[in-house]
C-alpha cells in the first residue's frame, strides 16, 4: 500500500527521498510526491503514475531542502491523480503531511471545516488532517498534534512538516506501521525498513499514538499524554542486497529461487540438524500445552490463509487436534464462538495486514493465546502476539508471495510434527524419520527449480488461454487455491480452484475443447479418485497438466506431466507449489505484465 519516507539533516534530501520511495515501490502505488521546507515555505512536487514521472517533474522543476517527506499513494478515497497525490498542505501552505491509512470520519470532519470556510483541493481523506492541523495550529506542531489526533477515527501513519520549524520533522501512527532511525547525516522516518536501511540498521518501531520529533541529531519520543518515552532500537541484520534483484529479471523469480535456502535456513533454526531433534524452545506449545490442546483456529488472508488451510490438515491428521482455518476479514465480523481454551495461530508475511491484526486482537481481547507466524521482525503482529515464530524467508519484495508461503508451510510441518510427538501420536523414531524427510526438501526444491525450462515450455504452450482451472483433493486442493491465486495475481488470467470431486456438481459445465486444467496430484491416498476426475475433464476436451511425483503410467500416458521429486504426502505441498509459482511467473512474463508490482495490488494490505 502507500509508502512514507522522511528526512531531516545535513544533506539535501531530494535524492534521499526519491531513493527511499524507490525502495518502497514494491508495496504498490499509483501516484507519488515529495515536499520540502525551502526558503521558509513548503515546496511540493507530485506526479500521477510511476516514480519515474515524479523524477521527471523534479528534473524540470527542481527543488532543494534539508527537511522533507515523500509518499507513494495507493488510492482509497479519490482517484489516482496529481491533485490527490500526497503530500497535502493546509490552506495557508504552512505545513505538509504524508499519510498512510484511512480516516473513517473524514466526511464529517471535512463538512465541519468547510462550514468554517476551509476550501479543499483534493478528494482525499488525508487532506482533512492537513486542514485540521492548519486550522488548530497554535505555533507548536507537537501541541497541535495532541489537539487534532483525538479527532481522527480510523488508521494513520503520518509524517508532518512545519515550515515554521525547518529543523524538525514530526511523525505519529495509529494502526499503520511507522519506523524511525538515526543516520550519520540526519534522522529518518519510513513506513518500511528497506526505505532507510542504507542509512541506519538501528530502527525504532513506533507504537500506536507515539509521537516522534526528529531533528538532525536527536529523536524524541512522546506518548499520547505528552510524557517523554525511552524507546529501545532493534538492530536489523539483513542488508540491502537482500532487497536487490541480484541479477534476476524480477524479485518474484529471485524469491522463487531462494526457496531451497529458505527451507534450509528455517530447518537450521528450528531443528538440531545433527541430532535430528526439534529445538523444543523454539516451538509455540510446551509439552503440557500440546497435550491440553482441544481446538486451534488459524487466521490469515490470501496466501497466508492458504498456508493456514494446509496447517489445519496437518494439525488434524498428525496431531489429532480439531482445527479450523478462516479468512481473517470474515472472522473478525462474524461473531465467532470462541472456546476458552482455544489456541490461535495467525499467519502473516508482513505482520501488518489490517484484517489479520483485527482478528488477532479479537482473540486476545477474549483472553485467548495467540501464536503468530510472521516474516517481519518488529511488525505489529510480531509485537502483539503472545508468541512469534519467524519465517526465515528474508525480505519478500515481490507482491506475489512465494518464499514466505513455503516458509509458512514448513513452520506448520514442524508445529504439527512436534505437537503430534508431544501428544503421543508419533514415536521418537517416526519423528526422526519425518525430520530426515524434511531435511531432504532443500535439495528436492532445488531440483524442481532446475527443471524450470519445462515449466516455461508449458507456459509458452498455454499463452493464449483465457482461463485456467486448478483442481486437487485434500492438501492438493489447498495448493490448487494458492496456484490459482498466484496465476491471477501476476498474469491477470482468470483462474479458479476446485476440489476435484466437486467438478461434477457444477463447474464441469465450463469445460470445453481446449480448456486448460492443472491437476495437483501429490496425495497418494486419493490419487485414483483424482485420476478419475482428470478423465472426466479430459474426455470433455480439457487440456490437462498434472503436477505429480512418480506418476502412474495411466496418468503419464494421457496428460502432460510436471514431475516433482517424491516426498511424503504431508510434505509434498512444499515442492508442488514451486512449479505453479514458476508457471504463473512465465505466463505473466510472456504477457508482459508488471510481475513484481501487479496492477491494483499492494504488498502489505494495511487497510481493510
Ligand atoms: O502480509 P500478509 O501475509 O498478511 O498478506 C496477506 C495477503 O495480503 C497476501 O498473502 C496476498 O494474498 C499476496 N499478494 C499473495 O501473493
Peptide linkage before 87 cis (omega within 30 of 0)? yes
Task: Indicate which residue's Cα is closest to atom 12 of ligand 1.
Answer: 302
Domain annotation covers residue 46: yes
Q: Is residue 242 part of a domain?
A: no
Higher pLDDT, 391 or 244: 391
What separation in Å is there between the alpha carbon of 302 and the centre of ligand 1?
A: 5
Q: Residue 36 falls within a domain, yes or no?
A: yes
Domain co-membership, 68 together with 149: yes
pLDDT at 606 over 80: no
Instruction: Name the domain count of the chain.
Output: 3
d(CA 26, CA 259): 20
- Per this entry, what is the length of the chain? 608
Q: What φ, ψ does residue 171 adopt, rounded to 5°?
A: -155, 155
**209 Rama class: left (phi>0) / alpha (psi -120 to 50) / beta:** left
Q: pLDDT digit string (tens) for 344-381?
A: 999 999 999 999 999 999 999 999 999 999 999 888 99
Shared domain for 372 and 229, answered yes or no, is: no
d(CA 369, CA 332) in angstroms, rounded, equals 16
Percent of the chain with pLDDT over 90: 82
Pocket test for ligand 1, best of 74, 176, 177, 302 (most atoms within 8 A of CB): 302
Q: What is the pLDDT of residues 552-562, one digit of tens each?
A: 888 888 899 99
Alpha helices in 271-393 (DSSP H): 287-292, 302-319, 328-331, 354-365, 380-384
The pLDDT assigned to 81 comes to 84
Q: Is residue 454 in some structural domain?
A: yes
If you measure from the C-alpha of residue 348 to the centroid of ligand 1, how many angstroms do you get, rounded to a whole number?
7
> Within this chain, do residues 281 and 430 fall inside the same structural domain, yes or no?
yes
Query: Domain check: are 224 and 130 in the same one?
Result: yes
Whether 243 maps to a domain, the answer reads no
Average pLDDT, the chain: 93
Q: Is the CB of 373 under 6 A from ligand 1?
A: no
The answer to whether 359 and 328 have CB atoms below 8 angstroms apart is yes
Q: Are residues 530 and 416 in the same domain?
A: no
Ligand 1 centroid to Cα of residue 568, in Å, is 27
**CATH number of the domain bearing residue 282:** 3.40.50.10490
C-alpha 579: how far from its chain's center? 21
Q: Are residues 96 and 221 in the same domain?
A: yes
User: Are 353 and 372 a contacting pair, CB within 8 Å?
Assistant: no
400 lines ligand 1 (CB under 6 A): yes
Q: Which residues are catalytic?
A: 2, 603
**202 and 322 fall within a common domain:** no
* pLDDT reported for residue 50: 87
Task: For residue 306, give the ligand 1 atom closest to its CA.
Answer: 10
Q: How confident is the model at residue 446 (pLDDT cuts 50, 70, 90)?
A: very high
- Least Cα distance to 130 among 87, 75, 84 occurs for 87
Name which residue sits closest to atom 10 of ligand 1, judged by CA.
303
Q: Which residue has the CA at smallest separation from atom 7 of ligand 1? A: 302
Among 439, 474, 503, give the residue marking a domain's end.
Answer: 439
CB-ligand 1 contact for 353 (6 Å cutoff): yes
- How remote is the CA of residue 4 from the centroid of ligand 1, in Å? 20
pLDDT digits (tens, 9 = 90+) for 173-219: 998 889 999 999 999 999 988 899 999 999 999 999 999 999 999 99
Strand partners, 68: 7, 36
Residue nearest to atom 14 of ligand 1 (CA): 400
Ligand 1, atom 6: nearest CA belongs to which residue? 301
Cβ of 483 closer than 6 Å to ligand 1, yes or no, is no
- Residues 389 and 411: their CA atoms lie apart, in Å, by 8
**Which of 43-47, 80-84, 115-119, 479-483 has the least mean pLDDT?**
80-84
Task: Name residues whose C-beta falls within 8 Å of residue 257's C-beta, 6 or more positions apart in sequence.
Answer: 248, 449
CA–CA gap between residue 188 and residue 213 (Å, rounded): 11
* C-alpha grid cell, residue 541: 476436451
Backbone angles phi and psi of 555, in degrees to 5: -80, -45
Is 302 close to ligand 1, i.e. is its CB under 6 Å away? yes
| Pair (424, 456) in one structural domain | no
Instruction: Report whether residue 375 contacts ligand 1, using a CB cutoff of 6 Å.
Output: no
d(CA 304, ligand 1 centre) in Å: 6
- Using the 3D structure, point to which of 185, 205, 237 is the last residue of a domain: 237
Q: Given this model, what pLDDT does residue 152 score? A: 96
Helices (H) and strands (E) counted in the chain, each on its own, are 20, 27
Q: Whose CA is nearest to atom 11 of ligand 1?
A: 302
Cα–Cα distances (Å) from 490 to 6, 30, 36, 589, 593, in that order, read 31, 17, 36, 9, 7
Cβ–ligand 1 contact at 489 (below 6 Å): yes
Give the atom of ligand 1 at the shortest distance from the alpha carbon of 402: 16
Buried b or exposed e, range 478-493, using 16+ CB within 10 angstroms? bbbbbbbbbbbbbbeb
Distance CA 608, CA 370 (A): 21
Q: 3-class DSSP state for residue 536? A: helix
What CATH number should be reported for the domain holding residue 63? 3.60.20.10
Q: Is 356 in the pocket of ligand 1 (CB under 6 A)?
A: yes
Quick check: 308 pLDDT over 80?
A: yes
Is 605's C-beta closer than 6 angstroms to any atom of ligand 1? Answer: yes
Per-residue 3-state assignment (H helix, E strand, C coil) for 584-605: HHHHHHHCCCCCCCCCCCCCCC
Give residue 558's pLDDT: 81
Longest CA–CA span in the chain (Å) reads 80
Residue 241 pLDDT level (bands cut at 50, 70, 90): low
The verdict on the CB of residue 604 being under 6 Å from ligand 1 is yes
2: pLDDT strictly greater than 70 = yes
CA of 402 to the centre of ligand 1 (A): 10
Is 44 inside any structural domain?
yes
Short-list 44, 49, 22, 47, CA closest to 34: 44
- Give helix 126-136 / helix 106-115 axis angle, nearest 10°: 40
Q: Cα 75–80–84 angle (5° rounding)?
A: 90
Q: Does any domain span residue 245?
A: no
Q: Using pLDDT thresholds of 50, 70 and 90, give the confidence band for residue 441.
A: very high
Question: Is the CB of residue 60 less than 8 Å from the CB of residue 90?
Answer: no
Place 159 in a pLDDT band, splitting at 50, 70 and 90: very high
Q: How confident is the model at residue 528 (pLDDT cuts 50, 70, 90)?
A: very high
C-alpha grid cell for residue 291? 497435550
Alpha-carbon span 326 to 300, nearest angstrom: 7
Instruction: For residues 161 and 145, give the distance between their C-alpha atoms in angstroms, rounded to a whole number.
Output: 12
- Confidence category of residue 74, pLDDT binned at 50, 70, 90: confident
Distance of CA 585 to the CA centre of its chain: 18
Yes or no: say if 580 and 423 are a contact pair by the CB < 8 Å rule. no
Between the CA of 294 and the centroid of ligand 1 the distance, in Å, is 28
CA–CA separation, 284 and 418 (whole Å) = 10
Q: Note whether residue 109 is domain-resident.
A: yes
- For residues 75 and 122, the answer to whether their CB atoms sit within 8 Å is no
**Pick from 331, 390, 317: which is nearest to 360 by CA?**
331
**Do 197 and 289 belong together in one domain?**
no
Question: Do residue 429 and residue 523 come from a single domain?
Answer: no
The proportion of the chain whose per-residue pLDDT surpasses 70, expressed as a percent, equals: 99
Considering only CA atoms, which of 356, 354, 353 is closest in space to residue 326? 356
| CB of 523 closer than 8 Å to CB of 551 | no
CA-nearest of 64, 75, 82, 132 to 100 is 75
- Which pLDDT belongs to residue 114? 96
DSSP SS3 for 333 = coil
Q: Is 350 in the pocket of ligand 1 (CB under 6 A)?
A: yes
> Are 411 and 271 part of one and the same domain?
yes
**Residue finishing a domain among 387, 410, 439:** 439
pLDDT at 210: 95
Atom of ligand 1 at shortest range from CA of 350 = 1
Give, in degrees to the nearest 5, the angle at Cα 42 between 11 and 215: 45
Ligand 1 centroid to Cα of residue 172, in Å, is 25
pLDDT, tens digit (0-9, with 9 covering 90-100), for 394-417: 999 999 999 999 999 999 999 999
pLDDT, residue 603, reads: 79
Are residues 388 and 477 part of one domain?
no
Domain coverage including residue 467: 447-608
Amino acid at each position: 500500500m502507500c509508502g512514507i519516507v522522511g528526512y531531516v539533516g545535513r544533506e539535501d534530501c531530494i535524492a534521499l527521498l526519491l531513493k527511499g520511495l524507490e525502495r518502497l515501490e514494491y508495496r504498490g502505488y499509483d501516484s507519488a510526491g515529495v515536499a520540502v521546507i525551502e526558503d521558509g515555505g513548503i515546496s511540493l512536487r507530485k506526479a500521477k503514475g510511476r516514480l519515474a514521472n515524479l523524477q521527471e517533474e523534479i528534473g524540470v522543476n527542481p527543488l532543494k531542502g534539508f527537511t522533507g517527506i515523500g509518499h507513494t499513494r495507493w488510492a482509497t478515497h479519490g482517484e489516482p491523480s496529481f491533485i490527490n497525490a500526497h503530500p497535502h498542505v493546509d490552506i495557508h501552505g504552512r505545513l505538509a503531511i504524508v499519510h498512510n491509512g484511512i480516516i473513517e470520519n473524514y466526511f464529517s470532519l471535512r463538512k465541519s471545516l468547510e462550514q468554517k470556510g476551509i476550501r479543499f483541493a483534493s478528494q482525499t481523506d488525508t487532506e482533512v488532517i492537513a486542514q485540521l492541523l492548519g486550522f488548530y495550529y497554535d505555533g507548536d506542531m507537537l501541541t497541535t498534534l495532541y489537539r487534532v489526533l483525538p479527532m481522527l477515527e480510523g488508521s494513520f501513519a503520518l509524517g508532518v512538516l512545519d515550515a515554521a520549524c525547518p529543523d524538525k520533522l514530526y511523525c505519529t501512527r495509529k494502526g499503520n506501521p511507522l519506523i524511525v532511525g538515526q543516520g550519520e547525516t540526519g534522522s529518518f522516518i519510513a513506513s518500511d525498513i528497506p526505505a532507510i536501511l542504507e542509512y541506519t540498521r538501528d530502527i525504532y518501531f513506533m507504537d500506536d499514538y507515539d509521537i516522534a520529533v526528529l531533528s538532525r541529531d536527536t529523536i524524541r519520543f512522546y506518548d499520547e499524554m505528552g510524557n517523554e518515552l525511552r524507546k529501545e532500537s532493534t538492530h536489523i541484520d539483513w542488508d540491502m542486497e537482500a532487497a536487490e534483484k541480484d541479477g534476476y529479471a524480477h524479485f518474484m523469480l529471485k524469491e522463487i529461487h531462494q526457496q531451497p535456502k529458505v527451507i534450509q535456513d528455517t530447518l537450521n533454526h528450528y531443528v538440531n540438524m545433527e541430532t535430528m531433534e526439534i529445538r523444543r524452545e523454539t516451538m509455540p506449545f510446551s509439552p503440557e500445552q500440546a497435550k491440553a490442546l482441544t481446538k486451534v483456529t488459524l487466521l490469515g488472508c490470501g496466501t497466508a490463509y492458504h498456508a493456514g488451510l494446509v496447517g489445519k490438515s496437518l494439525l488434524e491428521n498428525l496431531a489429532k487436534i480439531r482445527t479450523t482455518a478462516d479468512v481473517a476479514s470474515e472472522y473478525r465480523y462474524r461473531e465467532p464462538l470462541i472456546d476458552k481454551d482455544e489456541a490461535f495461530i495467525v499467519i502473516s508475511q508482513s505482520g501488518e495486514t489490517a484484517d489479520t491484526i483485527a482478528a488477532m486482537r479479537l482473540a486476545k481481547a477474549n483472553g485467548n493465546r495467540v501464536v503468530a507466524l510472521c516474516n517481519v521482525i518488529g511488525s505489529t503482529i510480531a509485537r502483539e502476539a503472545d508468541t512469534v515464530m519467524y519465517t526465515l524467508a528474508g525480505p519478500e519484495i515481490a507482491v506475489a508471495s512465494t518464499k514466505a508461503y513455503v516458509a509458512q508451510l514448513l513452520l506448520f510441518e514442524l508445529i504439527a510434527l512436534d505437537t503430534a510427538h508431544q501428544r503421543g501420536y508419533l514415536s521418537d523414531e517416526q519423528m526422526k524419520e519425518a525430520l530426515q524427510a524434511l531435511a531432504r526438501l532443500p535439495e528436492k526444491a532445488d531440483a524442481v527449480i532446475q527443471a524450470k525450462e519445462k515449466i516455461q515450455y508449458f507456459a509458452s504452450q498455454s499463452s493464449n488461454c483465457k482461463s485456467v482451472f486448478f483442481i486437487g483433493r485434500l492438501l492438493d486442493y489447498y495448493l490448487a487455491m494458492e496456484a490459482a491465486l498466484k496465476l491471477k495475481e501476476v498474469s491477470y488470467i482468470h483462474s479458479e480452484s476446485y476440489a476435484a470431486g466437486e467438478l461434477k456438481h457444477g463447474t464441469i459445465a465450463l469445460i470445453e475443447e481446449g480448456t486448460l486444467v492443472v491437476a495437483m496430484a501429490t496425495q497418494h491416498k486419493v490419487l485414483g479418485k483424482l485420476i478419475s476426475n482428470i478423465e472426466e475433464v479430459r474426455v470433455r476436451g480439457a487440456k490437462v497438466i498434472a503436477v505429480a511425483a512418480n506418476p502412474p503410467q495411466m496418468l503419464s500416458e494421457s496428460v502432460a506431466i510436471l514431475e516433482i521429486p517424491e516426498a511424503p504426502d504431508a510434505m509434498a505441498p512444499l515442492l508442488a507449489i514451486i512449479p505453479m509459482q514458476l508457471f504463473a511467473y512465465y505466463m505473466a512474463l510472456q504477457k508482459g505484465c508488471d510481475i513484481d508490482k501487479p496492477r491494483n495490488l499492494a504488498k502489505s494490505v494495511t487497510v481493510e
